[in-house]
Amino acid sequence: MVNQSPAGTTVAIIILTYNQRAKTLQCLERLHAVGALAHHVLVWDNGSGDGTVEAVRAAFPRVLAHLHHANLGVGSGRNAAARLAMESWQPSHLLFLDNDILIEPGFVEALLQPLLDDPQVGQAQAKLRFMYDPARLNDGGGARITFWLGRVRPVGYGEVDRGQYDQVAPCVSCGGAMLVRADLFQQLGGFDKAFDPFGPEDLDFSLRLQRAGYRALYVPQAVGLHEVSHTFESGGFSEKYARHKARHWFVFLRRHASPLQQAAFFLAGAPYLLARVMLREGRKGNFGAVRGILRGLVDFWRIAVGPQGRRGGPS
């Protein structure tokens, strides 16, 4: 029976995957173990060729597993999955969960409660510990964004978890363990495809949600263990990866940073970061990464005269 507590509230758990069959099955096994499969669960396969969907259907017949014909990227993949979940179940809330996270008991209920208590809370994010070093925090309160230095780092990253981040607090929410009101997700147009194939579509969404007058909260009572894996370019700092990362950061900066923060980045942060990358990657002979960053800058200037870098919502 699908969990509908309280008063008809329903949660759809959305898991995106791409050629990570073992991780996806492990994630679902944990959902089963803690009782979370009582909620609706959708696995959206972004064009894998490793038999993930067949394996999910065989092991978890109650899970809706959908194989898309191509890799849509993170933002567009999650948006498409959300549309399918809405068509299938009309849930009141959507929980976006990375497939390399193992949740602890009470995870879904803890994230849901603040949204039920206060209609101005539109989004909630979990506490994450490292899967293979669970005494340490991967995320203890969402993202800290330092615009002038081009840096995004989770609150408490790498710290031993001594309970120092065990209070509910406002946050800029990351997307890997995040619950949002379904109607609000639709109202805001979901994640912005301008950030495909990866990030920071989640931070952009959280900032747009807050700009619309809603609150985003970090909820430490919801705990997950995070392996922290990457599929794009096999996690390598390739030319393609560097190009996307640079272009997306420039769009994100233009959209959300103040004029002073933008000026500080281009005058101080950008030259410092470029020098660091040139030194680090040059030692490895990876000059493609430097080319990628420069090409990302060119991409940004090409779109800067258009609307997507200025708009506060999806393109």
pTM of the model: 0.90
> Which one of 188, 205, 232 terminates a domain?
232
Helix spans in 130-286 (H): 182-187, 201-211, 239-256, 259-264, 270-283
Query: For residue 309, is it within any domain?
Result: no
* Amino acid identity for residue 115 in this structure: L
* Residue 177 CB neighbour total at 10 angstroms: 26
Q: How far apart are CA 47 and CA 116, in angstroms?
A: 35
Shared-domain flag, residues 123 and 272: no
Do residues 115 and 93 touch, judged by C-beta distance below 8 A?
A: yes
Q: DSSP letters of 67-112?
A: E-SS---HHHHHHHHHHHHHHHH--SEEEEE-TTEEEPTTHHHHHH
The pLDDT value recorded for residue 301 is 62
Element (H, E) at 216: strand 215-226
Conformation bin of residue 163: beta by default, left when phi > 0, alpha when psi is -120 to 50: left
**Sequence-ordered list of residues with C-beta below 8 angstroms from that of 137, at least 6 positions apart, any chain:** 127, 128, 129, 130, 154, 156, 157, 158, 159, 160, 161, 165
Nearest Cα to Cα of residue 269 among 245, 290, 287, 253: 253
Shared-domain flag, residues 87 and 206: yes
The pLDDT value recorded for residue 122 is 98
In the 8-state DSSP scheme, what is residue 59?
H
The pLDDT value recorded for residue 309 is 46
Shared-domain flag, residues 20 and 90: yes
Q: How far apart are CA 300 and CA 313, in angstroms?
A: 17
- Residue 49 is part of which domain span? 11-232
Shared-domain flag, residues 189 and 166: yes
Shared-domain flag, residues 247 and 212: no
Query: For residue 311, is it within any domain?
Result: no
Shared-domain flag, residues 287 and 226: no
Shared-domain flag, residues 209 and 176: yes
Shared-domain flag, residues 138 and 251: no
Shared-domain flag, residues 242 and 228: no
Q: What separation in angstroms does the CA of 141 have from each of 29, 59, 122, 209, 297?
A: 26, 34, 16, 17, 30
- Cβ burial of 234 (10 Å; 0-12, 13-18, 19+) is exposed
Query: For residue 60, is it within any domain?
Result: yes
Query: For residue 218, is it within any domain?
Result: yes
Number of domains in the chain: 2
Q: What separation in angstroms does the CA of 188 have from each of 19, 97, 144, 284?
A: 30, 19, 23, 42
Listed as ranges, residues in the chain with pLDDT below 70 are: 1-7, 230-237, 287, 296, 298-313, 315
Shared-domain flag, residues 289 and 146: no
> Which one of 195, 217, 232 terminates a domain?
232
Shared-domain flag, residues 258 and 210: no
Q: What is the CATH number of the domain that holds 56?
A: 3.90.550.10
The pLDDT value recorded for residue 61 is 97
Please say whether the dihedral angle defined by the alpha carbons of residues 207, 208, 210 and 214, taken in this order, is positive or negative: negative
Query: For residue 32, is it within any domain?
Result: yes
Element (H, E) at 292: helix 287-304
Query: For residue 6, is it within any domain?
Result: no
**Sequence-ordered list of residues with C-beta below 8 angstroms from that of 40, at least 6 positions apart, any chain:** 2, 10, 11, 12, 13, 64, 85, 88, 89, 91
Shared-domain flag, residues 153 and 291: no
Nearest Cα to Cα of residue 95 among 17, 185, 168: 185
> Which one of 174, 197, 232 terminates a domain?
232
Query: For residue 315, is it within any domain?
Result: no
Query: For residue 213, is it within any domain?
Result: yes
